[in-house]
Structure 1
Amino acid sequence: MVKVAIAGGSGQVAREVIDALLAADKHEITILSRNEPSSKCVISPGLHWRVVDYNDKNALAVALRGTHTLLSFVQPLSETGYQSQKNLIDASIVAQVTRFAPSEWGAAGTVNMPWWVVKEQIRQYLKKVNENGRVLEYTLFQPGLFLDYLASPYQTAKYVAPLDTTFDFQNRRAFVVDGHADAVMTFTTAADLAAVVARAVGYNDGEWSEVSGIRGNRVTVSRVIEIGERVRGSSFAIDKVKLEDLEAGSLQTSWTMEKPKKHQAVSDEEAVALFKTVTIGMLLSSVKGAWDVSDEVNQLFPDYKFEEIETFLARAWGGKP
Structure 2
Amino acid sequence: MVKIAVAGGSGPVAREIIDVLVSRGEGKHEVVVLSRKAPADGEALEGTTWVTVDYEDKSSLVKALQGVDTVLSFIAVHLDPDSSIAKRIIDAAVDAGVKRFAPSEWSAYVDSTTSLSKIDLLPWYAGKGVIRQYLADLNKDKKANFPPSPFVIEYTLFQVGAFADYLATPYQTAKYVEPNMTWWDMEKGRILAIDPPKETVTLTTVKDIANVVALAIEYKGEWPVIGGIHGTTVTSAEVIALGEKLRGKKFAVETLSADDLRAGVWKGSWLPILNMPSITEAERLQFSQFVTGACLLSNLEASWTASDEWNKLLPDYKFANLEEFLAEVWTGKP
TM-score, normalising length: structure 1: 0.94
Aligned to 1:116: 125
Name 2:313's counterpart in structure 1: 300
Deviation at 1:265, TM superposition (A): 6.3
Alignment-mate amino acid for residue 209 of structure 1: P
* 1:127 counterpart residue number: 136
Question: Contact 2:199 / 2:296 at 8 angstroms: preserved in 1?
Answer: no
Distance of 1:269 and 1:305 partners within structure 2: 43
Q: Which of 193, 197, 207 is equivalent to 1:191?
A: 207
Residue number in structure 1 paired with 2:299: 286
State the one-letter code of the partner of 1:273: Q
Q: What is the CA–CA distance in structure 2 between the aligned matches of 1:90 and 1:270, rounded to whole Å?
A: 35
Aligned to 1:169: 186
CA contact (8 A) 2:165 2:174 kept: yes
**How far is 1:37 from its partner?**
0.9
| Cα offset, 1:78, TM superposition | 2.5
Q: Which residue of 2 aligns with 1:214?
A: 229
Name the CA distance, whole Å, in 2 between partners of 1:276 and 1:297. Answer: 34
Within 5 Å, which residues of 2 pair with 1:64-213?
Answer: 64-108=65-109, 109-133=118-142, 134-179=151-196, 181-204=197-220, 206-213=221-228
Instruction: Name the structure 2 match of 1:32.
Output: 34
**Aligned equivalent of 2:112:** none
| Structure 1 segments (4+ residues) deviating >3 Å | 263-270
- Where does residue 237 of structure 1 map in the other structure? 252
The AA in structure 2 aligned to 1:85 is: A
Share of identical aligned residues, percent?
Answer: 45
Residues 1:172 and 1:269: Cα distance change in structure 2 (over 3 Å): same
Question: Is the contact made by 2:199 and 2:302 (CA closer than 8 Å) also made in structure 1?
Answer: yes
Distance of aligned partners of 1:151 and 1:43 in 2 relative to their CA distance in 1, 3 Å threshold: closer
Instruction: Output one character per residue of 1:40-92: Cα deviation in whole Å (capped at 9) or x when no partner.
Output: 124423x1110001110111111111110000011123333311111101101
How far 1:267 moved relative to its partner?
A: 5.8
Does 2:16 match 1:16?
A: yes
Aligned amino acid, residue 140 of structure 1: L
Residues 75 and 265 of structure 1 are in contact (CA less than 8 Å); yes or no, is this contact kept in structure 2?
Answer: no
Q: 2:3 is matched with which residue?
A: 3
Amino acid paired to 1:202: E
Quote the Cα distance in structure 2 between the aligned partners of 1:267 and 1:132.
Answer: 47
Contact 1:153 1:261 in 2 (8 A): no
Deviation at 1:176, TM superposition (A): 1.0
Q: Is the 8 A contact 2:4 2:32 kept in 1?
A: yes
1:276 correspondence with 2:292: no
Partner residue of 1:309? 322
What is the CA-CA distance between 1:266 and the residue it aligns to? 5.7
Displacement of 1:142 after TM fit?
0.8
The SS at the match of 2:234 is strand
CA deviation digits over 1:237-259, x for unaligned, max 9? Answer: 111112211221222212224xx
Give the partner amino acid of 1:49. Answer: W
Q: Which runs of 5+ in 2 are unaligned?
A: 110-117, 143-150
Check whether the contact 1:9–1:73 (CA below 8 A) recurs between aligned residues.
Answer: yes
Give the equivalent residue in structure 1 for 2:60.
59
**2:120–2:126 CA contact under 8 A, matched in 1:** no
Tell whether the 8 Å contact from 1:20 to 1:198 is kept in structure 2 after alignment: yes
**Structure 1 residue 263: deviation in Å?**
5.0
Residue in 2 aligned with 1:252? 267
Point out where structure 1 has 5 or more consecutive residues left out of the alignment: none
Number of residue pairs matched?
316
1:318 aligns with 2:331: yes
What is the TM-score with the length of structure 2 in the denominator?
0.91
User: Does the 8 Å contact 1:78/1:265 carry over to 2?
Assistant: no
Q: Is the 8 A contact 2:122 2:294 kept in 1?
A: yes
